[in-house]
Amino acid sequence: MQHLTHQSTHVAWLDQHLRDLLDFGIHVPDPDGGAGYLDNEGDRDPSFGVLTYITARMVHVYSLGAMLGVPGCRAVAQQAMAGLTGRLRDAHAGGWWNGIDADGRPLRDAGKQCYDHAFVLLGASSATLAGLDGAEELLSEACRVYEERFWEEEAGRPRDLWDAAFTRPDDYRGLNSSMHSVEAMLAVADATGDGVWRERAGKVAAFVVDLAARFDGRLPEHFDRDWTPQPELNRDQPDDQFKPFGATIGHGFEWSRLLLHVEAALGERAPGGLADTAVALFDRAVSDGWVAGPHPGFVYTTDFDGQPVVTDRMHWVVTEAIAAADALQRRTGEGRFARLYADWWDVARLHFMDEEQGSWFHQLDESNEVTDGVWPGKPDLYHAAQATLLPRLPLQTSLAAGVRAGMMGR
């Protein structure tokens, strides 16, 4: 089967869909700086306040739009970034709050999270390449905070959480923040030219290669301070937004793709086994997570025997499945990945895309009916927008660097 990305009509569709997404989120900036949480119509939902990870994601997405020449995107990115240089930033203890509540108060109880700071790195990297005012200074500060507070050189992985004042680190370690750190590190390396960030990404990737072999492709998400897996964590809260119990199908796909990016970025310096592990993670995610039949889709999580735990479908899972299938088709040349890429875009188009109000429904139940127990509204564009761009750019470059260099079409 010919890969759809070889067809100019499919590439044109990807381009148009990205523009539609950018139109949907055009009102995301908060007047006081930052990006709001979008509701089903694309308006800011003030009850969620302004969250750092959503703000940084939207800085990233609209910086990409600016570099693609889409009118309005630069202004949106600049206003969203004003939240990262302003009220989301802790001017006293350093770093970034998890967010600002509806009354404008910092979410101190959430502490300082690696997850948030990884996205600040990503957003600042894209903003720097897009030439946003103040972006280089933001990126420099974000790198310093991440290196001082989160990166643990001895482990070759980041710590996950501090208290709000950066005085007490938490014992929890997580694979989710490590995963987004890898994405951010590759972006920082491209934006700054500092190759140490790629080397760090390689260290985390090597850990995932070992972890995948030990757990038969079902990656544990939760660890103690010594990186001993904690497989029972949140058994009583299996659908937690950021720390669900069990193995997360979408992260199998996301890691599969990221391992290939690390391999391509590091070249001969890359750890061994990245491509083989990428295939193994992908195949495990498909065999455990895919549900065929009249209501096709991926379950959210499984236990460590591969049995479904949360059967709802999240939009971000299918976007990562699409991107991983494309990456593996290019890396291996195997036609089965091209077929799955096409099949899963069908699922996305027929079930997740909201033809009336725009963007993607973020959560469906096992019958593919819209629900919102985990993800109400349509908070941001990060996953869907990247699914339209990743198939059009080389594996060895971050999205922002590839777009800026005019590498669309690979």
Catalytically active residues are 251, 383
Strands (E), 109-256: 112-113, 151-152, 157-158, 161-162, 173-174, 222-223, 247-248
Closest CA to 282 of 322, 316, 240, 310: 322
Give the β-pairing of 112-113 and 99-100.
unpaired
- CA 154 to CA 186: how far, in whole Å? 20
- Tell me the three state secondary structure of residue 99: strand
Tokens encoding 308: 């479904």
Q: What is the C-alpha to C-alpha distance for residues 237 and 195, in angstroms, rounded to an integer? A: 39
Residues whose CB is less than 8 angstroms from the CB of residue 75 and which lie 6 or more positions away in sequence, other chains included: none
Report whether 314 contacts 381 (CB < 8 A): no
- CA-only gyration radius of the chain, Å: 19
Counting beta carbons within 10 angstroms of the beta carbon of residue 96, is it exposed (0 to 12), middle (13 to 18) or buried (19 or more)? buried
Residue whose token pair is 């198939």: 391
Q: Which amino acid is present at 157?
A: R
Look up residue 330 and give its two tokens. Answer: 């290019």
The angle formed by the CA atoms of residues 327, 63 and 133, to the nearest 5 degrees, is: 145
Confirm if 111 and 96 have CB atoms less than 8 A apart: no
Q: Which residues, in sequence order, are CB contacts of 326 under 8 Å at separation 6+?
A: 3, 5, 337, 341, 390, 391
Residues 84, 123 contacting (CB under 8 angstroms): yes
Please give the distance of CA 39 from its chain centroid, rounded to a whole number. 20
Cβ proximity of 312 and 363 under 8 Å: yes
